[in-house]
Amino acid sequence: MTRVLLAGATGLVGEATLRRALASPRVQQVVAPTRRPLTPHPKLLNPVVDFDALPADAEWWRVDAVACALGTTIRDAGSQEAFRRVDHDYPLAIARHAHAHGATTFALVSAMGADARSRIFYSRTKGDVEENLAGIGFTSLSLLRPGLLGGVRTQHRGGERIALRVMGALDAVLPARYRVVPAERVAEALLKAALDAPPGRHIIPSERLLG
């Protein structure tokens, strides 16, 4: 069985991944660092942390795999700088600490269009974190690139709700890569990548996440 560190356990995909991981007979323990305490569970280790000051020598970094679903929007973050800190700096810090303590596998929820050379700040940030993760040295690195995520959020995003309704109405005629991807599908693929740990670097596009 595997010890998995889950980053972003309070988000849309992260919550779904946490439920799956806690229910999986393949997972011995889930380490889920969060800003606020989670509901206790016998298989859950929940360090309450400040992501700007992660403890480098904490024993809970000793895991087999990391599943990272950390992410925000520029609007929610308040600035491009704050967005980059959450979507780039935090995943890299987690990756480096876990790798230094023996983790060999990293699976990340990135985004469709991730490209370190993009003129679009969002896509460039996602591409940067992908490239920087590739340089850390994980035996297995999986990069999931979903499009628009479907699911019930605790935080309301008006523009996203409108987009989901429009995209949902057009779902039957849209190419697969542009269709809404249910958060549960992304969570399933994220946990599978962490547990199966295929050697090498793997990019999983949005259409493959639809099943």
* Extended strands (E) in the chain: 2-7, 27-31, 44-45, 65-68, 105-109, 140-145, 149-150, 181-182, 200-205
User: Residues 55-89: pLDDT tens digits?
Assistant: 999 999 999 999 999 999 999 999 999 999 999 99
Residues 48-61, mean pLDDT to the nearest whole number: 97
Q: Is 93 in contact with 5 (CB distance < 8 Å)? A: no
Other C-beta atoms lying within 10 Å of the C-beta of residue 57: 8
**Is the model's pLDDT at 104 over the cut of 60?**
yes
Count Cα atoms within 13 angstroms, Cβ side, for 32: 26
Q: Is 68 helix (H, G, I), strand (E, B) or coil?
A: strand
Query: Per the structure block, which two tokens stand in for 70?
Result: 């950390």
* First CA to last CA distance, the chain: 25
Q: What are phi and psi of 207, to 5 degrees?
A: -65, -30
**Is the model's pLDDT at 153 over the cut of 60?**
no
Kindly report the average pLDDT of the chain as a whole number: 90
CA gap 12, 76 in Å, rounded: 14
Residue linked to tokens 């987690």 = 94
Distances (CA, A) of 64 to 95, 108, 191: 12, 15, 13
183-196 and 12-23 are packed helices; what angle lies between their axes, rounded to 10 degrees? 50
Residues 33-59, mean pLDDT to the nearest whole number: 98
Q: Is 12 in contact with 183 (CB distance < 8 Å)? A: yes
Residues 182-189, mean pLDDT to the nearest whole number: 95
Query: Per the structure block, which two tokens stand in for 47?
Result: 């360090």
User: Residues 90-99: pLDDT tens digits?
Assistant: 999 999 999 9
Q: Is 116 helix (H, G, I), strand (E, B) or coil?
A: coil
pLDDT band at 186 (very low <50, low <70, confident <90, very high): very high
Fill in the amino acid letter for 4. Answer: V
Other C-beta atoms lying within 10 Å of the C-beta of residue 59: 10
Residues 135-158, mean pLDDT to the nearest whole number: 80
pLDDT band at 165 (very low <50, low <70, confident <90, very high): low
